[in-house]
Amino acid sequence: MTQAAGAARTVIMTVDDDPGVSRAVARDLRRRYGGEHRVVRAESGESALQALRELKLRGDQVAVVLADYRMPGMNGIEFLEAAMDVYPAARRVLLTAYADTNAAIDAINVVDLDHYLLKPWDPPEEKLYPVLDDLLTAWRSADHRTVPCTKVVGHRWSARSSDVREFLARNQVPYRWYSVEEPEGRRLLAAAGQDGRRLPLVVTPDGTALVEPEAPELAARVGLATTPTAGFYDLVVIGGGPAGLGAAVYGASEGLRTVLVERSATGGQAGQSSRIENYLGFPDGVSGAQLTERARRQAARFGAEILTAREVTGLEVSGAARVVRFADGSTIAAHSVILATGVQYRQLDAAGCADLTGCGVFYGSALTEAASCQGQDVYVVGGANSAGQAAMYLSRFAKSVTLLVRGADLSASMSHYLIQQIDEVANIAVRHHTAVAAAHGSGHLEQLTLRHTLTGETERVDASWMFVFIGAAPLTDWLDGTVLRDERGFVLAGPDLTPDGRPPAGWELDRPPYHLETNVPGVFVAGDARAESAKRVASAVGEGAMAVMLVHRYLEQS
């Protein structure tokens, strides 16, 4: 191991078992950051861990750790996971070849990976330094005191345990999972004075024990913002999917005092995608979690507030103000509102499914539960891109993945590139004209009854895991009586409000509604919640940006 001089400087560590590559990485880092940071180089995970422990004993700070994925003895993911125990605040970067990008995506959940870099990155001025600049900026703005990790104790087949894990994972909150059946799980329960009959138990970083916590309480305890800092804003964005995040970025960057309100976790359905390959600017694909976290950080950097675990239950007009009411009765007001509430997966209308949800039957939880499917037979219900992406991701863990599709083929609802990928994976099978008639199990899913949609014939199969991605239902019931919607609940806007050229009932302005404007002036809609929207990530982001442009136009004329 070699290191630059200057013990008082913050450390950037690089680990690569190839001496030539290791020297080249360190050279690139010193050329840019050597004046302010000490670059420490190691050629194995073991020696790097020893160096980290020595730095810890001396009280030195480590800002960024870069580790090569393919290292003998201890690969990059294993090293970064161990490094988290020594320097949990250090930003983590995995260095990968193109063939290892799937491993990098997996590492996002395993080690809370901040970024992965493809080698080689020549020129570093374009591909290396911008990434490190952002990570160092993020590191400097954080609190670097050692903080214990959030711990979750639960049961494998507990719906509430699954909900808590999903909430933490999707909000990028690091946590450790302990089964109630393992010794450490039992020790944590005993320390909290619990007997295991009420699960999950969440032990927060400050040592507070929460039993069966609801999302708002959990969010507040793990450091997520849940309370607005003001009572009045220029713009309230409701929903944190691609459309909402796009609106928050553009609204805040253009000087509007902006708050984004999300009832669960930013990212929406796109945030649950294991891999998005047709989004502009990412030729090698990007996970929904990566895209979401980057957008969230970007919005925050521009000054947008982001509130998590706040459910909106009403929208009211009070003169020039638009008042948003929360489930707890509190309100915030704004000059304008963008509805970006997105959609949720429809519930499977089959006997037994409701009782087994979270206990083997999951809706859009493939990323969180995939590791538990190791070596097992998994069923995925649905024929659109979300189902195909889930099947591809699960195939890396499961013994087999069976895609259940009601139609005759996938081409009607799935992108061509994804169909080709599925065809090339040996352990993915597609069953056409097949629906789930019933789910069976005592405490957790054990079997499925499948029905052929043409012949009506049924078949019972063993199954412990089923992931459902069937259609989309808008989250707009709370708008009833205020904002006009179509028969399926999607929000009407712009030309859809004026098919005959006449303004909607109650419209009092001397202009027609703008393209994304609802029947309530100053209230706009973007993304999947809009009637006749494209239901694609790129179009949702674009509509979020367009809605902000129209907000400016509305404010200028108000």
* pLDDT tens column, 499-512: 887 889 889 899 99
What CA–CA distance (Å, rounded) separates 374 from 397?
5
What CA–CA distance (Å, rounded) separates 256 from 251?
5
Collect all residues with Cβ–Cβ distance below 8 Å to 408 and sequence separation of at least 6. 432, 433
Contact indicator for 386, 363 with CB cutoff of 8 Å:
no
pLDDT per residue, tens digit, the chain (558 aa), is 444 333 357 999 999 998 988 999 999 999 999 999 999 999 999 999 989 888 875 668 899 999 998 888 898 888 998 888 778 889 999 888 765 666 666 666 566 788 888 877 788 898 899 999 999 998 988 756 544 578 899 998 888 999 999 999 889 898 989 999 988 888 888 888 889 899 999 988 877 889 999 999 999 999 999 999 999 999 999 999 999 999 999 999 999 999 999 999 999 888 888 788 888 888 878 888 889 999 999 999 999 999 999 999 999 999 999 999 999 999 999 999 999 999 988 899 999 999 999 999 999 876 778 888 999 999 999 999 999 999 999 999 999 999 999 999 999 889 999 999 999 999 999 999 999 999 999 989 999 999 999 999 999 999 999 999 997 889 999 999 999 999 999 999 999 998 887 889 889 899 999 999 999 999 999 999 999 998 889 999 999 999 999 999 999 987
pLDDT tens for each residue of 267-313: 988 888 878 888 888 887 888 888 999 999 999 999 999 999 999 99
Burial label for 223, CB within 10 Å (0-12, 13-18, 19+), is middle
Q: How many residues does the chain have?
A: 558
Collect all residues with Cβ–Cβ distance below 8 Å to 245 and sequence separation of at least 6. 260, 266, 267, 292, 295, 296, 299, 541, 544
What pTM did the predictor assign?
0.73
Q: What is the pairing mode between strands 472-474 and 321-326? A: unpaired
Collect all residues with Cβ–Cβ distance below 8 Å to 446 and sequence separation of at least 6. 360, 440, 462, 463, 464
Tokens of 337: 């509102």
Architecture per CATH, domain 232-344+473-557, reads as 3-Layer(bba) Sandwich (3.50)
- CA dist list (Å): 348 to 184, 381, 428, 430, 518: 36, 9, 22, 19, 31
> How confident is the model at residue 105, as a pLDDT?
65
- CA 526 remoteness from chain centre: 19
556 φ, ψ (degrees, to nearest 5): -65, -30
46 φ, ψ (degrees, to nearest 5): -65, -45
353-470, CATH topology level: FAD/NAD(P)-binding domain (3.50.50)
96 φ, ψ (degrees, to nearest 5): -135, 155
- CA dist list (Å): 170 to 46, 108, 219, 266: 31, 11, 12, 7
Indicate if 353-470 has the same CATH topology as 232-344+473-557: yes
Helix-then-strand count for the chain, H and E: 16, 27
What letter would DSSP give residue 264? S
**Nearest-CA neighbor of 240 among 271, 262, 264?**
262
Q: Give the 3-state secondary structure of 360-408.
A: CEEECCHHHHHHHHCCCEEEEECCCHHHHHHHHHHCCCCCEEEEECCCC
**Nearest-CA neighbor of 470 among 343, 344, 346?**
346
> Is 3.30.450.40 the CATH number for 2-140?
no
> How confident is the model at residue 7, as a pLDDT?
38
> How confident is the model at residue 3, as a pLDDT?
41
Asked if the bond preceding 123 is cis, omega within 30° of 0, the reply is yes
> Is 3.40.30.10 the CATH number for 150-221?
yes
Q: How do the domains of the chain map onto residue ranges?
A: 2-140, 150-221, 232-344+473-557, 353-470
Give me the chain's average pLDDT, please.
Answer: 90
